[in-house]
Structure 1
Amino acid sequence: MSQTVTHPAVPLPPTSDSGPAADWDAWRAERRQALTSPTGNLALVETRWLPAGERPDIEAARAGQPGTVTVTALERTDLVTGEPEHGLRFWDSASPALRHFEDTAAFPYDPRWVLEASRTPAPADRRVPFEHIRDNGGTRDLVVPEDIVLTLDGHTYTLSAFDDDGTLLLVFGDPTNGTTTYGAGRFLFVRRAAHDDRRVVLDFNRAFVPPCGFSDQYNCPMPPRQNRFHLPVEAGEKLPLFRDGFPAQH
């Protein structure tokens, strides 16, 4: 850590008898397994949005595709009309990114980056605008059910973490972005503190490269102003590494 973090570290209860560092190693292995699965981030080769009113036909889309391809449906809100927009995703277990993937570089585990913060519930269904990487400056409103207040290096931040299928997901930025870490920011799942339901744990050792760092077919949210830290967060994943000069997403 390049600067002193004044907020005290909070030890996480280990999920095994081996301790937090071993749990982190296990998390790293699980991350690799998920990234390299047939429908992992590295396998996504196409996101195809359909004309207005058209519904996805997975069987028709799969016809004629190689046996390595899986097709799934997805939905989002059209930024102009506000109406649901349907699409298809094509995943290839033999994608070039998967064939060339080496690893995801990461900072060494550092218990000083396991931090505790307070949580303040917000009005029901509060939405906060998040710019997305492929929306040309447009924003999408995401449900942010509570504020997270963190004191870091003498600065107090009120962070917006959005609801990701029942789990809070923090999209954050820091001065390492674009140099040692992914340029558009990183993601971190927020954990409830075991000893106090008004507190949360932010284990930045588990900060991870967003899906758009592995495939240009994702449209990831970017950190809003309130989620940008003034000091380098030298913990968690850095960047994907590929062999043979394969172009990485930055």
Structure 2
Amino acid sequence: MVSMQAPEAHTTWIQARRRAVTAPQGALSLVLTHWEPPGAPAAADAIARAGQPLDATITRLERTDIHSGAHQQGYRVWDPGSPALRAFDEIEYYDFDPAWVIPGRFEWMGDARVVPFEHAKDDGALRSLPASGDLVFTFDGTEYRMSAFDTDNGRVAKLQLVFGDPTNGVETYGAGRFLFLDHPAAASGMTVGDSIPITIDFNRAIVPPCGFSNHMNCPLPPPQNRLPFAVRAGEKIVRFRNGFSL
């Protein structure tokens, strides 16, 4: 049962989303992501800041190169006066609909499990991401099983669902959407095959960061996460003013 306070809570969440994407290090402020050659040292601050506004922020990145497996250093530049932020109008949403608050279960697959995900800027190569469990739910009498990978959001353990549906590219962002769920705390005491109830609220589906900045490299929905029915809930697309586009 959906709480009578759910629509009000949803409005509060929408307001928080706007604050997040327009923050000094929100997705709209990202103007550059740069990676050094695999194995090369990190760029000095003076190099990273060259040509950037004085109030820009530099953050550091690390990853494993997808082709060589070597350690790779990088950085991002966040500009609080970025063109995207100046032109931002709104995120377009579907109206809150309690029918899209769906009961399901989180099925534990083990800490060691990884699932291959393609990313938008990796030319079809796959990155293996930790996915300790599956999200399982029933819609119109059919059971669906989707891979959600383990991540953290604000240092809180989360499940990140990257999913697609027939609204993509028509009503919603073309590359799919994200949904973050609290990671079941009981998972630490579970064995493979155990499950725990979880609520999947598609009203909290969001446009991924690559819908706000071309300098993000977002994961794309794997085949098992491409739903055959239209999910008309959550965020649709990002609107900009004055003809601006990414």
TM over 0.5: yes
Which of 167, 182, 195 is equivalent to 2:158? Answer: 167
Q: What CA deviation, in whole Å up to 9, does each residue of 1:147-206 have, x standing for no partner?
A: 111111222111100001221010000000001100010000124689xx8111111111
* Whole-angstrom distance in 1 between the partners of 2:226 and 2:179: 13
Per the alignment, residue 26 of structure 1 pairs with 12
Structure 1 residue aligned with 2:135, among 123, 136, 148? 148
> Which amino acid counterpart does residue 238 of structure 1 have in structure 2?
K
**TM-score when scaled to structure 1?**
0.88
Q: Which of 96, 101, 104 is residue 117 of structure 1 equivalent to?
A: 104
Q: Write out per-residue CA displacement over residues 50-69 of structure 1, whole angstroms, 9 at most, x where no aligned residue.
A: 12223324532235532231
Q: Distance in 2 between matches of 1:133 and 1:154?
A: 33
**Conservation of the 8 A alpha-carbon contact between 2:179 and 2:206:** yes
Q: What stretches of structure 2 of length at least 5 have no aligned partner?
A: 186-194
Is the Cα–Cα contact under 8 Å of residues 58 and 73 in structure 1 kept in the other structure? no
Going from structure 1 to structure 2, the CA distance change for 1:83 and 1:47 (only over 3 Å counts) comes to same
Residue 79 of structure 2 is matched in structure 1 by 92
* Count of aligned pairs between the two proteins: 232
Change (3 A) 1:41 1:124: same
Amino acid of the structure 2 residue aligned with 1:164: T
Match of 1:38? 24
Indicate yes or no: 2:34 matched with 1:48: yes
Distance 1:73 1:87 in 2: 6
One-letter code aligned to 1:52: P
The amino acid across from 1:96 in the alignment is P
State the superposition RMSD in angstroms: 1.8
Structure 1 residue runs of 5 or longer lacking an equivalent are: 1-9, 13-17
Q: How does 1:1-250 map to 2 (within 5 A)?
A: 10-11=1-2, 19-57=5-43, 59-60=45-46, 61-62=48-49, 65-165=52-152, 166-191=157-182, 198-248=196-246
User: Identity of aligned pairs, percent?
Assistant: 49
Distance 1:52 1:223 in 2: 27
Residue type of the alignment partner of 1:37: A
